[in-house]
């Protein structure tokens, strides 16, 4: 019997500029751009292979759709799937943990460089004719910041943290890092320190840790008080790692000089009246750091390879509940 494959919200990964041919070769494929939560079970129907990005797949959905044999998440985070319910039904759940590392690390540095040089602002100023009408040879509206000899503290020294550290080190920065599991590759780039020392000594703090109960709110009023005055915060990891209200207060008081945030603790429903949008020293982007064309192409290749592994009766390397399904 031909496999029936459903992608519930494919637009986030492929708005039409890429092909789904890898999955098309493996069965009857239906791709929805977006799926409201209440329509998930109806669209899955009798499909045996289901992919999602942000549409939840709940216990109730699995009960309604007993044909499901595999659930894949088109992202790194997989909290949108009830993994416990999948385990009980013997359904492998996979994510895609190894794509976008170069893209996210590059984006983190791009946020930092925008804070240091206000390139977007000055480009707009030139386009508006301010350079042409300026009485001096050149001008700038903000103090420009040189990163050489400053200290970057990286929280989470996994693949992305490591790549970010390498770029920052190439810019002449000193790197310190906090991670529960230090590695030799990490030691080649950074000095591992306790978290409080990282807060106390860093000129820039870049966040690259997963969202766990232990990391939720790791940047909050208490930790901000331990930081240097004028610290810069960059978050391309997960929104709830940083308390939005607390960082907003610190941006307004000047305790934090600036912040580059690709993620917020409520997405995408942050009220437009929130004070963060009035902070001139905040650079905000819409959770897009991972989404380079190269990263998404790599992701699509990994998606097809994962399905092939499952159809061959193997548990893929990226199966998040592998230990529960082993016999």
Q: Strands 191-192, 204-207: parallel, antiparallel or unpaired by DSSP?
A: unpaired
Looking at the chain, how many residues does it have?
327
316-322 contacts at long range (C-beta below 8 A, 24 or more positions apart): 316/92, 316/94, 318/94, 318/95, 318/96, 318/97, 318/98, 319/92, 319/93, 319/94, 320/78, 320/83, 320/93, 320/94, 320/95, 321/83, 321/86, 321/87, 321/92, 321/93, 322/92
Catalytic residue among 238, 274, 280, 294: 238
Whether residue 122 lies in the annotated active site: no
Q: Strands 49-52, 93-94: parallel, antiparallel or unpaired by DSSP?
A: unpaired
Selection from 66, 61, 54, 48 nearest residue 3 by Cα: 48
C-alpha span between 280 and 118 (Å, rounded): 11
The encoded tokens of residue 59 equal 């216990």
Selection from 42, 47, 88 nearest residue 71 by Cα: 47
C-alpha span between 95 and 240 (Å, rounded): 20
Whether residue 287 lies in the annotated active site: yes
Catalytic residue among 267, 274, 280, 300: 267
- Kind and range of the H or E element at 203? none
C-alpha span between 97 and 255 (Å, rounded): 35
**Edge-first strand listing for the sheet containing 282-284:** 191-192, 174-178, 151-155, 204-207, 231-235, 256-261, 282-284
CA 217 to chain centre: 16
Catalytic residue among 287, 294, 300, 326: 287
Please give the positions annotated as active site: 238, 267, 287
């Amino acid at each position: 019997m031909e496999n029936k494959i459903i992608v519930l919200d494919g637009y986030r990964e492929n708005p039409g500029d890429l092909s789904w041919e890898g999955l098309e070769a493996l069965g009857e494929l239906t791709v929805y751009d977006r799926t409201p939560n209440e329509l998930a079970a109806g669209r899955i129907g009798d499909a045996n292979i289901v992919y999602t990005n942000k549409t939840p797949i709940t216990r109730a959905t699995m009960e309604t759709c007993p044909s499901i044999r595999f659930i894949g998440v088109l992202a790194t985070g997989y909290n949108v799937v009830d993994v416990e319910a999948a385990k009980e039904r013997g359904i492998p759940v996979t994510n895609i943990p190894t794509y976008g590392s170069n893209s996210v690390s590059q984006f983190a540095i791009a946020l930092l460089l925008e804070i240091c040089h206000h390139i977007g602002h000055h480009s707009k100023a030139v386009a508006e004719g301010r350079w042409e009408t300026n009485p001096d040879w050149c001008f700038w509206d903000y103090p420009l910041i040189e990163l050489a000899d400053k200290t970057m503290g990286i929280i989470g020294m996994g693949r992305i943290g490591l790549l970010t550290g390498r770029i920052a080190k190439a810019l002449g920065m000193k790197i310190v890092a906090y991670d529960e599991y230090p590695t030799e590759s990490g030691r080649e780039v950074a000095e591992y320190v306790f978290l409080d020392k990282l807060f106390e000594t860093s000129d820039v703090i870049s966040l690259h840790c997963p969202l766990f109960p232990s990391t939720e709110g790791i940047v909050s009023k208490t930790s901000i008080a331990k930081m240097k005055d004028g610290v810069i915060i960059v978050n391309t990891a997960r929104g709830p790692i940083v308390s939005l209200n607390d960082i907003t207060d610190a941006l307004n008081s000047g305790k934090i000089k600036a912040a580059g945030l690709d993620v917020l603790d409520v997405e995408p429903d942050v009220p437009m009246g929130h004070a963060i949008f009035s902070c001139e020293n905040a650079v905000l982007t819409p959770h897009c750091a991972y989404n380079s064309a190269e990263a998404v192409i790599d992701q699509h290749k990994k998606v097809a390879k994962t399905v092939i592994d499952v159809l061959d009766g193997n548990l893929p390397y990226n199966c998040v509940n592998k230990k529960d399904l082993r016999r």
